[in-house]
Chain A
Amino acid sequence: MALTTPAMGRPTLPPPPPASAPPAPRRAVTSPAWRHFDPLLLLATVAVTLIGVLMVYSATRYPQELAGGNPKYYLERQAIWAGLGIAAFLLTLVFDYRRYLLWAPVLYGGTVLMLAGALVIGHRVLGAQSWIQVGPFQFEPSEFAKVTLILSLAALLSSRKGQLSVKSLLVVLGLAVVPFLLIFKEDALGSAIVLGIVLVGMLLMGGTKALHMALLTVLAIVAIAGVLQSGLLKQYQKDRLTTFLHAPTGLSQGTASSLNPYAKTIEYNLDQSKAAIADGGLYGKGLFHGHLTDLSYVPNQSTDFIFTAAAEQFGFAGSALLLALFALIVWRSWRAAALARDLAGTLICIGVLCMIMFQVFENVGMTMGIMPVAGITLPFMSYGGSAMLVDWVALGLVQNVRMRRFD
């Protein structure tokens, strides 16, 4: 994330409110907060979420039916998650974001506790021990860590007023490293990487000096090289991360039967993913006519590889439109960051922007074989409750900042 590009420009920060100004009369002269709500941002996100629900259904209805289950099982669950996500979004809007910043230390502490808890009592899913069972639901603390970290960093960085000394920088890094290491320990590598990206983006926006940033970059490179060499990463993680670098394999064929050892490999998953995307062509096969989607040829299609379902059924035209919707979300988040009334608001928006942007690029790039397979979900679309809730809450924070820009 080369956010240091000078051409990027810097969002105009609103002048800090005079400390002495009494809040009450100010409120009286401004219009209600909802007048500054961004409908475009909400519409784009709702559209993406609905497409996601439909795609989850298209990718799961046949396997469900064949297994003797309810073909609408995943459709219903995902729709419920989407509804809960939107409810969480609305809930997030109720309180001024600055109140959340006050609660940041508590949120941060709670998150670290949950992450540690997941390590102790968590479930192991797809290699990652990052799930906590609560009643009938499993949830993933590492997903929630994203949004609490954004809030915590925003609170901390904004308190330094854009002037980051070495000491403050170290405090910020220390704050970020704890959940990062816990998540890393849980093998939820993808979430850890997202945290790292969010950190970088927010540091840049939070006024880190260029020299410090350069030093950090060098450090990060050394650390990554060290991790790859040291054996801290498990082999499957390394395989996932490096598969996309290999020359194209002979595209895989044959069914994913137990007789085909190739079917369990990450190359197979990638080949099938690319095949499904290629099958879409210019205009796609049409909704519920995705050949490879219907026949469940892409492993993990309803979760990490949900983009392939859209790409096969809607083709280049449809998936380009989908990417445009994501771009719209990113752009409106950028606008919110630019319009925010204070540095904390800007930092929140930038953090969310980085999170969504990186996840979209990494996830879609992964399905097309230009990014490593890192277990990162596609925001608002991949099947799963925790991610859906967190994505909507993050979006709620952005709207919150925008809505209250004159408060």
Chain B
Amino acid sequence: MVVVVCLFATLMGRLWFLQVAEANVPAIQQVTSQGLETVYIPAPRGDIFSRNGALLAGNHIEQVVEVQPDAVTEHPAIVGELAAVLDTSVKQVKAALDNPQYSPYQPVPVATGVPASVALSISENQKLLPGVTVTAAPVRYYPYGSLTANIVGYVTQITGKEYSAVKGQICAKGVPCYTTTSEVGQAGVEASMEQYLRGVPGREVLDVNAQGQVLGVASYTPPVAGDNIVLSISLADQKAAMTALADWTKVARTQLGVTSGHNYRSTGAAMVVENPHNGQLLALATYPDYNDNNFVGGISYKKWAYYNNPTNNYPLEDRPISWAGATGSTFKLITATAALDFGVRSPYYMYNDTGGITVGGQFFRDNAGVAAGPVDLQTALTISDDAYFYSLGYDLWKLWAGGKGHPEYLQKIAAEYGLGNLSGVQLPGESYGIVPSQQVFNREHQQYPKAYPHPYFEPGQEIQEAIGQGQDEVTPLQLADAYSAFANGGTLYVPRIALAVEKQGTNARPNGKIVKLYTPQVKDRVQMPSATDQAIMTSGFEGVTSNPQGTAYGAFTRFPLSRIPVAGKTGTAQVGPNFSQVGWPAYVQNTSVFTSFAPASAPRFVVDAFFAQSGYGACAAAPAVVQEYYTLFGLAKHGLPATVTSTPPPGC
């Protein structure tokens, strides 16, 4: 009997050990949870709207043919039948079915966007096609395509590398944000606002038996749709800006570049329209552009090759934020502000321009070598007198180098205007830009001792920098931010691309509950000269458009300046061959830059434009900005006259 008791005690002990004592061991839990397969249901992505409620990115419902994986194992003939119905090859159907990204318990999509006739024939032939279903699935689309592609961006199916980076992210209890089949934003707002747009995937737990058959649904949590984004972009202004860039690229390409002896190549352009009082971006245009609808459902190899071919000038670039180049004379805003701030020179001082200045045996020549004679600050801005600003640059350098503890004033003010730093706009791919300084030179020397043999910050560097040449690099957005700060009296705002994040509303209208509101955010305060001095500078900028001696006078002859005074500044940036891109010819042409704010007395808009390889700022950028003002101020209700869109200004 003792033996019997011992035997039963052994069984009881082992039973306790297995069922109670060791039940929480992870390996045991893992094996006891087998048979529960979790499938995640993608959430509909949030919509993106313009500030006026125009849909820029949405989902439309497409018919998707899906196949249950176990149906194919049971009835291999499905593959052939399906290929016939879908009018594709057996190989393609097999390839779609073998996609390892899908769970073996999840229907695998075989064809997307099938016509209604095919959907009908599949549902009518269920006997021939067991396990094949046609379901409606949301597919991303961009109603305005290339018009807003650089802002909105696009989504693609997540890559293996991306997935391994984000697979730990949890969106709800036990629900990962991403699965191997998730769509993820790759550019523009789709990428930068991904966390709001993606929503929360649904979760379905299936009972799967040892043979892999699905017996039922153990639990189901529906997906939560992503939030909508309302952009600050005005569709009309964006459209006008994109058109202006295309129009004036076309014009520039017909004009002969004097120094190169070739027509301007006009390889790319950018335009920014910003509200100077809150940093909201009304338009962010780029040229050339791409169509983000090409990326839906996977971009074709041919399209991808086209977009990446250097001869097509990189349409995927979002130039207003990623293109950091020399600004030319538009930089004189910073030089003038620094000079007035630190009392380097009175605005009334008459500087005698003799055609250039000589420093350290090097002659810095005025543009076109014209000696303007005596000029004060206002005139120097209006006629863009280089010698005036060269000498200011030299004076600022001497102050710093003089050993009396003066900081680098020019660089200090440039930094306060937001140059050489990320603007903080909610878009991926922004460039920092460069404001040359001793610090920058030191860093460059240490990083690339061969290209930068010595770390000294020579006066010539500062003299070049004072007129926006040399190693100066500014993005179109940074320049718009700087002029916005000047226009509003010294407040540097973080430029805003989005106004709000909202929950899905009814009927897909962006009227859901507000999740997040993007209020104006102050990034910095610029140390401004006195109000009088500011007025002198503004007058100088106004003269650029209204004074017959002004550099952009020709471009504004057809603009109603009497009603809408425009303060502007041209820039003609010489780009060195070092900055040429792959596939460029040996010659380089100037970057045409124009920046402005209007009305000059009470600024509502800051508009700037950059045209690469397009010559004088007055000849491509300025007329493009004029064209944009026609739309911004509602001057062209019945279409723009040809004089505005295609006639080069006098003198070009």
Q: Within 8 Å of chain B (Cβ to Cβ): is A242?
A: no
Q: Within 8 Å of chain A (Cβ to Cβ): is B344?
A: no
Q: Within 8 Å of chain B (Cβ to Cβ): is A365?
A: yes
Of the listed stretches B16-24, B134-142, B237-245, B562-570, chain A binds B16-24
* B3 close to A62 (CB less than 8 A): no
Q: Within 8 Å of chain B (Cβ to Cβ): is A159?
A: no
- CB contacts (< 8 Å) of A323 on chain B: these are 8, 11-12, 15
A327 to B10, CA, bound (A): 13
* B8 close to A5 (CB less than 8 A): no
- CB contacts (< 8 Å) of B1 on chain A: these are 8-9, 334
Q: Name the residue among B10, B11, B207 with the largest chain A CB count within 10 angstroms.
A: B11
Known: A256-B210, A297-B34. Contact between A334 and B19, CB under 8 A? no
A373 to B507, CA, bound (A): 64
Contact with B along A1-24 (1 / 0, CB 8 A): 111010111000000000000000
* A357 close to B31 (CB less than 8 A): no
* A281 close to B19 (CB less than 8 A): yes
* A8 close to B20 (CB less than 8 A): no
* A62 close to B19 (CB less than 8 A): no
* B30 close to A278 (CB less than 8 A): no
Known: A257-B211, A295-B210, A296-B211. Contact between A316 and B16, CB under 8 A? yes
* B212 close to A257 (CB less than 8 A): yes
A1-50: which have CB < 8 Å to B? Answer: 1-3, 5, 7-9
* B209 close to A66 (CB less than 8 A): yes
Q: Within 8 Å of chain A (Cβ to Cβ): is B215?
A: yes
Known: A294-B207, A316-B15. Contact between A327 and B4, CB under 8 A? yes
* A279 close to B209 (CB less than 8 A): no
- CB contacts (< 8 Å) of B8 on chain A: these are 323, 326-327, 361
Task: Give A256's nearest chain B residue, CB to CB.
Answer: B210
* A320 close to B12 (CB less than 8 A): yes
* A3 close to B3 (CB less than 8 A): yes
B8-57: which have CB < 8 Å to A? Answer: 8, 10-12, 14-16, 18-20, 22-23, 27-28, 30-32, 34-36
Known: A255-B211, A278-B22, A311-B15. Contact between A271 and B31, CB under 8 A? yes
A323 to B4, CA, bound (A): 12
- Identify whether the interface residues of A are mostly helix, strand, loop, or mixed: helix
A360 to B23, CA, bound (A): 24
Contact with B along A247-260 (1 / 0, CB 8 A): 00011111111000
* B19 close to A278 (CB less than 8 A): yes
- CB contacts (< 8 Å) of B208 on chain A: these are 255, 295
Known: A251-B27, A278-B28. Contact between A295 and B3, CB under 8 A? no
A10 to B396, CA, bound (A): 116
A330 to B20, CA, bound (A): 26
- CB contacts (< 8 Å) of B210 on chain A: these are 255-256, 263, 295-297
B587-633: which have CB < 8 Å to A? Answer: none
Q: Within 8 Å of chain A (Cβ to Cβ): is B213?
A: yes
- CB contacts (< 8 Å) of A291 on chain B: these are 32, 35-36, 207
Contact with B along A276-304 (1 / 0, CB 8 A): 11111110000000011011110000000
- CB contacts (< 8 Å) of A255 on chain B: these are 34, 208-212
Q: Within 8 Å of chain B (Cβ to Cβ): is A368?
A: yes
Contact with B along A144-177 (1 / 0, CB 8 A): 0000000000000000000000000000000000
A347 to B334, CA, bound (A): 113
A180 to B158, CA, bound (A): 65
* B15 close to A319 (CB less than 8 A): yes
Q: Within 8 Å of chain A (Cβ to Cβ): is B2?
A: yes
* B34 close to A254 (CB less than 8 A): yes
A66 to B7, CA, bound (A): 39
* A295 close to B11 (CB less than 8 A): no
A370 to B12, CA, bound (A): 12
A191 to B454, CA, bound (A): 94
A332 to B514, CA, bound (A): 76
* A274 close to B7 (CB less than 8 A): no
Q: Within 8 Å of chain B (Cβ to Cβ): is A275?
A: yes
Q: Within 8 Å of chain B (Cβ to Cβ): is A364?
A: yes
Least CB distance, A387 to chain B, in whole angstroms: 20
* A315 close to B19 (CB less than 8 A): yes
* A365 close to B10 (CB less than 8 A): yes
Task: Give A276's nearest chain B residue, CB to CB.
Answer: B32
* B19 close to A361 (CB less than 8 A): no
Tell me the count of chain B residues lying within 8 A, CB to CB, of chain A.
33
Task: Give B209's nearest chain A residue, CB to CB.
Answer: A295
Known: A7-B2, A327-B8. Contact between A280 and B19, CB under 8 A? yes
A275 to B27, CA, bound (A): 10
B289-327: which have CB < 8 Å to A? Answer: none
- CB contacts (< 8 Å) of A263 on chain B: these are 210
A334 to B4, CA, bound (A): 10
* A365 close to B34 (CB less than 8 A): no
| Chain A: number of interface residues, binned into ranges | 35 or more
Contact with B along A355-368 (1 / 0, CB 8 A): 00100110011001
Task: Give B34's nearest chain A residue, CB to CB.
Answer: A253
A314-353: which have CB < 8 Å to B? Answer: 315-316, 319-320, 323, 326-327, 330-331, 334
A155 to B4, CA, bound (A): 25
* A370 close to B10 (CB less than 8 A): yes
A362-381: which have CB < 8 Å to B? Answer: 364-365, 368, 370
A62 to B210, CA, bound (A): 11
* A368 close to B18 (CB less than 8 A): yes
A271 to B208, CA, bound (A): 18
Least CB distance, A372 to chain B, in whole angstroms: 14
* A316 close to B11 (CB less than 8 A): no
- CB contacts (< 8 Å) of B32 on chain A: these are 275-276, 278-279, 291-292
A299 to B49, CA, bound (A): 57
Known: A66-B213, A256-B210, A291-B35. Contact between A277 and B11, CB under 8 A? no
- CB contacts (< 8 Å) of B19 on chain A: these are 277-278, 280-282, 311, 315-316, 319
B207-244: which have CB < 8 Å to A? Answer: 207-213, 215
Least CB distance, B97 to chain A, in whole angstroms: 16
- CB contacts (< 8 Å) of A292 on chain B: these are 32, 34-35
Least CB distance, A381 to chain B, in whole angstroms: 14
Known: A251-B30, A251-B31, A277-B19. Contact between A370 and B211, CB under 8 A? no
Q: Name the residue among A7, A66, A271, A368 with the largest chain B CB count within 10 angstroms.
A: A368
Known: A278-B22, A316-B15. Contact between A253 and B211, CB under 8 A? no
Least CB distance, A374 to chain B, in whole angstroms: 16
Query: Which single member of B11, B23, B209, B211 contacts A278 (CB below 8 Å)?
Result: B23
Task: Give B5's nearest chain A residue, CB to CB.
Answer: A327
A281 to B28, CA, bound (A): 11
* B12 close to A250 (CB less than 8 A): no
Least CB distance, A188 to chain B, in whole angstroms: 23
Q: Name the residue among A2, A263, A272, A275 with the largest chain B CB count within 10 angstroms.
A: A275
Least CB distance, B349 to chain A, in whole angstroms: 84
Known: A278-B18, A323-B12. Contact between A252 and B2, CB under 8 A? no
A3 to B6, CA, bound (A): 12
Task: Give B207's nearest chain A residue, CB to CB.
Answer: A295
A315 to B8, CA, bound (A): 17
- CB contacts (< 8 Å) of A7 on chain B: these are 2
* B4 close to A2 (CB less than 8 A): no
A39 to B144, CA, bound (A): 87
Given A8-B2, A255-B209, A316-B15, 7 other A-B residues pairs in contact with their CB atoms under 8 A: A255-B210, A256-B211, A275-B32, A278-B32, A279-B32, A315-B19, A323-B8
Give 6 CB contacts A-B under 8 Å: A8-B1, A251-B27, A275-B31, A292-B34, A294-B207, A323-B12
Point out residues on A near B: beta carbons under 8 Å: 1-3, 5, 7-9, 62-63, 66, 250-257, 263, 271-272, 274-282, 291-292, 294-297, 311, 315-316, 319-320, 323, 326-327, 330-331, 334, 357, 360-361, 364-365, 368, 370
Point out residues on B near A: beta carbons under 8 Å: 1-4, 7-8, 10-12, 14-16, 18-20, 22-23, 27-28, 30-32, 34-36, 207-213, 215
Q: Top 9 A-B pairs ranked by shortest CB distance?
A: A295-B209, A279-B32, A295-B35, A256-B210, A251-B31, A275-B31, A316-B19, A368-B14, A255-B212
